Amino acid sequence: MGLLNKKVKKIAVLTSGGDGPGMNAAIRSVVRCAIHKGYDVVGIIRGYEGIFNEEIIPLNHRSVSNIINRGGTILKTARSTQFGTPEGKEKAVQILKKHNIDALIVIGGDGSYRGASELYAEFGFPVIGLPGTIDNDLKGTDQTIGCFTAVNTALDAIDKIRDTAHSMERVFIIEVMGNKSGYIAIEVALGAGAEEVIIPERQFDYDRMCQGIKEGHKRGKISWMIVVAEGAGKAHEVGNTITTMTGLESRFVVLGHVQRGGVPSGQDRILATRLGAAAVELIDKGEFGKAVGVLQDEINVIDIREATHKEFKHLDDFLNLVKVLT
């Protein structure tokens, strides 16, 4: 679309919900691609909450220098309760319009997508969603920005734990992030060679696991690595159960927010960079209410209201594989 025909002149970008490594690379790509196409760009600080506080700053080419390799988000992020109400959204639209913002790019997870989707459906405000969450639970994309790095971070920690688990002949329970999504847990279990994985999407049979541990112990097995997603159980409780049922010594580690930080992996940076460009491209074509993703290495676009939840396609295959490899 030629510059003179463009209805959108000013684009705002924000990051919302839990941060993830690679969000900065996405911001950089949005800003530079938008400037390249002749748009003005502003950043909203602290997600949707920043709209109410009118924390809106101009962004130029230089504002996003030297951030591609940085974890976190230079725009800060938050979870806004005010934005969750219809009145809040109405107020947000008024403020966005007051600042002459014509389109909003939201980098975030399922809750952020729901908010953006309502902004578009109920108030007609032009939005584009860019998948930024370590949980990898958004539809329309094989991966969300941050997940690759989070899995690598967890694997790095678990490799270290394995050394002590084996040396001291213990059962270790490692709790990873994922309240509603077991994606990180399963990937980490496969990548770390864990014996068991406990996820929120499936019932877990503790009797079967403890029976297996006892039998393995009789055969001379000396250490176990058990991965639990935070939404499926607490690591210390899993440890207590195992010790009570098997008599074996256990220890637990909660990896927690370590998984959300750090230098983004190459895959996250490249994904974020491609998606930032794709989001600007959609605005340029005058398409709104969409979410961008990469499916089988191709840029993919779906309605944002459909993107808020994804079933993990190969979940049972992956769970089976963990069992087979034990």
Identity of the residue, 31 or 154, whose beta carbon is nearer to ligand F6P in the bound complex? 154
Residues 6 or more apart in contact with residue 272 via CB below 8 angstroms: 22, 23, 24, 25, 26, 29, 132, 145, 264
In which residue are the tokens 């605005």 written? 283
Convert residues 75-114 into a mask of x (bound to ligand F6P by CB under 6 A) and - (unbound).
Answer: ----------------------------------x-----
Q: How many residues bind ligand F6P (CB under 6 A)?
A: 10
- The reply to whether 143 sits near ligand F6P by the rule CB under 6 A is no
Q: Which of 129, 136, 137 is nearest to 300 (CA)?
A: 129
Q: State the DSSP H helix or E strand holding residue 318, giving kind and residue range, or none if neither.
A: helix 315-325
**Which among 34-42, 56-64, 115-123, 130-138 is the span making contact with ligand F6P, rule CB under 6 A?**
130-138
Distances (CA, A) of 168 to 163, 250, 252, 285: 9, 10, 14, 60
Convert residues 251-280 into a mask of x (bound to ligand F6P by CB under 6 A) and - (unbound).
Answer: ---------x--------------------
- The end-to-end CA distance of the chain, in Å, is 56
Distance in angstroms (rounded) separating the CA atoms of residues 46 and 51: 8
**Which among 117-125, 133-141, 292-300, 311-319 is the span making contact with ligand F6P, rule CB under 6 A?**
133-141
- The reply to whether 135 sits near ligand F6P by the rule CB under 6 A is yes
What residues pair up with 292 in beta bridges, in sequence order? 301
Identity of the residue, 23 or 194, whose beta carbon is nearer to ligand F6P in the bound complex? 23
Convert residues 208-237 into a mask of x (bound to ligand F6P by CB under 6 A) and - (unbound).
Answer: ----------------------x-------
- Point out which residues bind ligand F6P (CB under 6 A): 18, 109, 133-135, 177-179, 230, 260
